[in-house]
Structure 1
């Protein structure tokens, strides 16, 4: 089984500004600073923000649960020309549900000089027996992240 889900989130800041945050370590640092209760905590285990960097994301417990879920992801592609970053989940998260491969792709698409779209995609491969689990694969946390980061950058930009 192979599939992909994707969503576009409009953001009211220039593509170059949001790419500066998304391309490396700054995204994790901002998530930790402004939205740990919503998006979770980010810890960098190795690397400098380039390809090969490994990050551990620990998500807040789901409502009614005391247990946090985590995943480790490896940065596999950073394309400064096309504003694309890809990571692969190497442990935990959807990988723990039994998927063989889970790739997260974040693409920044310029709309005009003051706004862009963050296209968030999750591509997955796994055994056909995971058909019931596929409905749990969601880009909603990535959409929420784009909204929060975009709002933060917009507010920051307006104070400059």
Structure 2
């Protein structure tokens, strides 16, 4: 067992509070609408989005992952910080013992924002190729979700103001 910490930094021209509201706070409503070929739904099965809430992501059939559960650890709208743990999903229990994510949105140049995601993976076993492939897939997915939200916000300048 080991621990892998991976940071991903993405930037855009959307103001920080607006991006946080769309990408984090209302993601359960927005993401399935703008990525309908990826997500069937995202819903809270426990709580309303605050700490302790359980968020379930349902993916379309044909995807290797059918669903994933997140537990919200912290939602700090004042400081634009979101922390959650993946409690069920791809490779959980086989290659990963635990996965926790800390996302922070900060002010960027020219009124835009910097999105930082620090993922901590506690690995189980020594299947290095599968573990690295899963981490790469997660990073690619996050970048895709990020770009989709940014595109939506540019196309809808009155949304999430």
Q: Which residue of 2 aligns with 1:149?
A: 149
How far apart, CA to CA, are the structure 2 residues paired with 1:88 and 1:103?
A: 4
Query: C-alpha displacement at 1:81, in angstroms?
Result: 3.8
Q: Which runs of 5+ in 2 are unaligned?
A: none
How far apart, CA to CA, are the structure 2 residues paired with 1:97 and 1:141?
A: 21
Q: Which residue of 1 aligns with 2:132?
A: 135
Instruction: Kindly report the root-mean-square deviation, in angstroms, between the aligned alpha carbons of the 2 structures.
Output: 2.4
Query: C-alpha displacement at 1:13, in angstroms?
Result: 0.8
CA shift in 2, pair 1:139/1:103, >3 Å? same
Secondary structure, counterpart of 2:126 in structure 1: helix
Q: Which residue of 1 aligns with 2:43?
A: 43
Matched, 1:28 2:28: yes
How far apart, CA to CA, are the structure 1 residues paired with 2:146 and 2:20?
A: 11
State the Cα deviation string for residues 13-39 of structure 1 (Å, max 9, x = none).
100101122443x11110111112135
Misfit runs of 4+, over 4 Å: 65-68
Normalised to the residue count of structure 1, the TM-score between the two structures is: 0.83
Mapping for residues 66-77 of structure 1, pairs under 5 Å: 67-77=64-74
Q: Count the aligned residue pairs.
A: 156
Mapping for residues 1-160 of structure 1, pairs under 5 Å: 1-24=2-25, 26-38=26-38, 41-60=41-60, 65=62, 67-112=64-109, 114-136=111-133, 137=135, 138-157=138-157
Q: Which runs of 5+ in 1 are unaligned?
A: none
How far apart, CA to CA, are the structure 2 residues paired with 1:133 and 1:23?
A: 28
Secondary structure, counterpart of 1:120 in structure 2: strand
Secondary structure, counterpart of 1:33 in structure 2: helix
Query: C-alpha displacement at 1:67, in angstroms?
Result: 4.9
Query: Contact 2:71/2:86 (CA < 8 Å) preserved in 1?
Result: yes
Normalised to the residue count of structure 2, the TM-score between the two structures is: 0.83
Query: Contact 1:14/1:112 (CA < 8 Å) preserved in 2?
Result: no
